[in-house]
Structures are given as structure tokens and as C-alpha cells.
Amino acid sequence: MNVRLRSKPARPQKTARRSREPEIRLDATLSFMRALWALDHGLRQRSRRMHIDLGLTGPQRLVVRIIGQFPGSSAGSVAVILNLHPSTLTEILKDLEKRGFIKRRADSRDRRRAVLDLTPAGRRVDRLHAGTVEASVRKALRTLPKHKIRTTEEVLGILALQLSREK
Amino acid sequence: MNVRLRSKPARPQKTARRSREPEIRLDATLSFMRALWALDHGLRQRSRRMHIDLGLTGPQRLVVRIIGQFPGSSAGSVAVILNLHPSTLTEILKDLEKRGFIKRRADSRDRRRAVLDLTPAGRRVDRLHAGTVEASVRKALRTLPKHKIRTTEEVLGILALQLSREK
DNA sequence: CCCATGTCAGTATCACTGAAATAA
DNA sequence: CTTATTTCAGTGGTACTGACATGG
């Protein structure tokens, strides 16, 4: 290996293990980029796992949580909250409905609108904690001082805004 | 699925626009989760855009950057650096090779190994700046004090570690 | 007629699992 | 024979574009 990593070279055919503190030196921006994509990757990995264990993915559960906090939301407003394309949300809602976590009905005053509510099963998922992406995040954050969490959330917001703004 | 088939007019559509500072109030963790997924989403959006404009996605370019800093790396070591499953990297490398950004050859001493190097086109991409995900990130970070950037990178690392560690 | 809301079909990337091919 | 490296086939979720159905 030309790039020598600190950790043991091999693990069976499993996902490459995160080696905290790689011995390699990347320039500052590249290192930050790697951290960003690592987070992205971790989120999806955990989300995938949750799908296997609990029957829904991270984004799906996030939709459940939002509907839990704002029952009667329209599909469009949930899409805006999560910065999702309406058609993406359609897919997710279709799935959630099929699995019996949400109910869709037409708004009585504007029948184009889909009004969303949780089913009892959906409410159980909303209250769920063990095994969720959220639980992992909470666990990681517990060890950190509040100001670091605030700073991170602020910086994440700025990054996300910049990324989605550029065309 | 609720199938409604019938014909009538048409009208275009665009992605739900990011509303900075949503008027809604989410609880603290949910708000943080939203920030995480928003970042994830922004990354992919920008990555997608870069693919259209420059011919490669964020992860693909990151691979190019890594190979640029460590020419002669094996596929496996790049996978470790980026926490990717080897088979995921295979896909990406196949694509990069097809487009002429990298060359693969067998390591002369261990012919199982694929040794990776940039082509001239790959080196141009490595040096590229305008229109990349990295450029957006840099732009966002320019406005921030160094300590906030360091904190964010630290927290991201902890989060990613926790997320990918839990099974 | 025009705009808003939501859905659908088609497409692409990412990333996984599990198995195989090849070499050490 | 066993292990390591990489690839391949198949699968599934996310999320887009563009078209379209339908209601206001």
C-alpha cells in the first residue's frame, strides 16, 4: 500500500472501517470534504440499518416526526421543511402509507391537497427511540458541550444553504 | 397507488425552495437532524449539478483528489480513506476510467492489486476549482472564523464515527 | 386560461450483499 | 488450503426531470 493507514490492513469483506485519525495527511479543505462525505455516508449507513431493523429509513422517519409535530400538514409543506422535491416526497409518502404509518386524505377546502396524519403505528414510530438514527446522533452529542453543538448546527446550515443555492 | 388516468393540460415545476429560517419550531434534536439531512441533501444536489457541468460527481471527484495526492494508491486504500465498500469503489473507478480520468494497472509485485494514477485529464480535474462542491464549501467557510470550522470538523467526525459504529 | 398541488414514469448515483476470479 | 484484493450481478433507497392530472 502506498498510502499507509495506521489501522490493521484487513477486515473481511465488510465496509471499510472508519479509522479515526488516519495517518495520511490531506490538505485542510480536502480533510474537511472527507469529513462531510463521511457524515453523509454514516447517515445513510445508519439509515439503511434502521430500515432493516425498524422498517423505515432516516428520511422516512423524519417525515413521520414532522407529521407528528404538525398533524394535518400538506405534502407540499413537509417537502419545503425538508427541502425535498415534491416528487421525492410522493415516493416516501407512498411507502409510508403502504406500510400503514400515515394516512392521506384530501383537504376538504382544497381538494388538490393531501392532508397527512399519523396512524397509531405511525405514532409508535414517532415515539420510538432505540435503534434510530436520532439515537445515534443524541449519543454522539451527549459527550459534547452545548456551544459546540450550536456552532455545528450553525455551520451546517450555512453549508447547506450555500450548496443548494449555487444553481 | 391511487391511479387516476385522464388527459389535460400541463405546467412545469421546480424543487421546493429552501426557506431559510423556517417559521415552524422543531424541538432541538429534530432541528439538528434536519440540519444534518439538509447538509446531506445539499451535498448531493451540488454533486449532481457538478456531474452535469463538469462530468463527475462529488464522490468521484474526491477519489480523483485522493489519487492526485497519493498517486499509485491501491483501490483498497482509497476505499479505506473514504470509508467505502470496495465494490462501491469499483463502480466509481470503472466510471472514472471510462471517462479517461484515471488509469488502472496491476501492481507488479502483487498482481491482485489495482494501482491507480491520474491521466492528464484527471490532473486537470484535480486542479479544477470553479463549479466544484469543494468551491461551494470553501465559499461558505470563508465567512467563518477558524475555530468554528475546526469545531464543526471535530463534531462531524464524532457523529460519523458514532453513526457508522452502531452496527 | 393560468397557476398551484400533487403524482407518475423514467433515469442516475450511491452503496450495499453475496459470490466469484485471481493472486499471494 | 487459506487469505487478500478486486470485480461483478443483483437490489434498494434517494432524488432528480419532465410530463401530466386536477382543482382553485
Q: What string of DSSP letters covers A98-111?
A: HTTSEEEEE-SS-T
Residues 6+ apart with CB under 8 A from A129: A135
Q: Nearest-CA neighbor of A154 among B16, B152, B1?
A: B152
Please tell me the distance from the alpha carbon of residue B159 to that of residue B37, in angstroms, as a whole number: 13
- Residue range B101-159, pLDDT digits in tens: 999 998 999 999 999 999 999 999 999 999 999 999 999 999 999 999 999 999 999 99
Span A76-90, average pLDDT: 92
Q: Does the structure show a pLDDT above 50 at A10? A: no
pLDDT score, position A23: 55
**Backbone phi, then psi, for B106, in 5-degree steps?**
-80, 140
pLDDT score, position B24: 63
Length reported for chain B: 167
Please tell me the distance from the alpha carbon of residue A99 to that of residue A87, in angstroms, as a whole number: 19
A103 DSSP β-pair partners: A117
pLDDT score, position B23: 54
pLDDT score, position A106: 85
Residues 6+ apart with CB under 8 A from B42: A83, A159, A160, A161, A162, A163, A164
**For chains A and B, what is the number of CB pairs under 8 angstroms?**
266
Question: Which strand (E) or helix (H) includes residue A136?
Answer: helix A133-142
Span B16-44, average pLDDT: 77
State whether the Cα torsion A21-A22-A24-A26 is positive or negative. Answer: negative
Chain B residues 84 to 143 with C-beta below 7 Å from nucleic strand C: 84-85, 87-88, 91-92, 95, 109-112
CA→C1' distance for A104 and C8 (Å) = 17
A107 to chain B, closest Cα gap in Å: 16
pLDDT score, position A166: 72
Give the pLDDT band of residue A20 (cuts 50, 70, 90): very low
A12 to chain B, closest Cα gap in Å: 11
Q: Does the structure show a pLDDT above 80 at A132? A: yes
Q: Does the structure show a pLDDT above 50 at A21? A: no
Q: Does the structure show a pLDDT above 60 at A144? A: yes
CB atoms within 10 A of CB B147: 9
Kindly determine whether residue B80 and residue A43, on different chains, have CB atoms separated by under 8 Å.
no
Chain B residues 8 to 67 with C-beta below 7 Å from nucleic strand C: 9, 11, 13, 47, 51, 57-60
Q: Does the structure show a pLDDT above 80 at B29? A: yes
Q: Does the structure show a pLDDT above 80 at B3? A: no
Residue B106 is given by DSSP the state: E
| CB distance A89 to A63 below 8 Å | yes
CA→C1' distance for A79 and C10 (Å) = 21
* Residues of B with Cβ-Cβ distance to A29 under 8 angstroms: 134, 137-138
pLDDT score, position B139: 94
A130: left (phi over 0), alpha (psi -120 to 50) or beta: beta
> Which residue in chain A is spatially nearest to B149 when comparing CA positions?
A155
The position carrying cell 467557510 is B141
